[in-house]
């Protein structure tokens, strides 16, 4: 089945079948591929290496795998800590701002962090900057308090968790003008070892069970 996976518990090796997948088989090139890989890390938890299987096998070793495991842990921790809950957004008079802010945070934590974790960090920093500007312009004490709680109890928590990951530490000083969805930094970081998919080759050269040879050729 497309995007199904095998998990070797002893080797902590996650092997994902990408045959027939329209999204390719490269974490660094395809955001959907990265998202599905992180989803599977969230399922199995302990992963030491990742292999994406298509026409070839693309293996990401322990160091590269750890970068994704840390991002998966950030997502899991933020969800477990209920970062999107109303209590983190402030007292009751802040409830009317909740739908807009929860939408922003869900986009960062649940969607963008899986597809483009660097972009998720950038969006978090931009949102903090935006909130700080609104705080400076806000005359209402209650509205200002809501913004400060949203910034300190939600956005800053997310920012610090991202900054604790090695992936963000590697690129933090290179994010000026970063465009969400840009994969160039990922291509510098994730460089899998590539080898033939011997199982696919064997399948392609194995004759059908009831097949009949009708001709031969010599090289």
pLDDT digits (tens, 9 = 90+) for 50-73: 999 988 899 999 999 999 999 999
Q: Which pLDDT score is estimated for 181?
A: 92
Q: Which pLDDT score is estimated for 21?
A: 72
Q: Which residues of 140-169 are buried (b: 16+ CB within 10 A; e: fewer)?
A: eeeeebbbebbbeebbebbbebbeebebbe
Residue with tokens 């609104």: 134
Q: Rounded to an integer, what distance in angstroms lies between the CA atom of residue 216 and that of residue 23?
A: 38
Q: Which residues of 184-198 are buried (b: 16+ CB within 10 A; e: fewer)?
A: ebbeebbebeeeebe
Q: Which pLDDT score is estimated for 214?
A: 54
Q: Which pLDDT score is estimated for 4?
A: 84
Question: Model-level pTM?
Answer: 0.86
Residue with tokens 């900057």: 129
Residues of the chain whose pLDDT is less than 70? 1-2, 197-219
Q: Which pLDDT score is estimated for 212?
A: 56
Q: Which two tokens stand for residue 186?
A: 């990922």
């Amino acid at each position: 089945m497309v995007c199904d996976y095998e998990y070797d518990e002893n080797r902590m090796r996650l092997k994902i079948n990408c045959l027939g997948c329209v999204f390719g088989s490269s974490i660094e090139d395809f955001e959907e591929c990265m998202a599905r890989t992180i989803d599977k890390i969230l399922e199995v938890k302990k992963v030491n290496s990742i292999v994406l299987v298509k026409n070839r096998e693309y293996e990401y070793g322990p160091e590269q795998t750890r970068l994704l495991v840390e991002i998966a842990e950030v997502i899991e921790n933020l969800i477990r800590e209920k970062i999107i809950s109303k209590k983190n957004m402030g007292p009751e008079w802040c409830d009317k701002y909740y739908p807009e802010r929860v939408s922003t945070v869900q986009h960062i934590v649940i969607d963008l962090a899986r597809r483009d974790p660097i972009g998720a960090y950038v969006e978090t920093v931009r949102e903090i900057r935006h909130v700080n500007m609104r705080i400076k312009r806000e005359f209402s004490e209650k509205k200002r308090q809501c913004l400060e709680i949203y910034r300190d109890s939600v956005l800053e928590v997310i920012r610090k968790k991202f900054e604790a990951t090695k992936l963000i530490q590697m690129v933090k000083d290179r994010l000026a003008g970063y465009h969400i969805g840009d994969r160039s930094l990922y291509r510098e970081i994730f460089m899998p070892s590539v080898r033939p998919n011997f199982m696919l080759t064997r399948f392609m050269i194995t004759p059908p069970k009831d097949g009949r040879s009708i001709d031969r050729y010599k090289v």
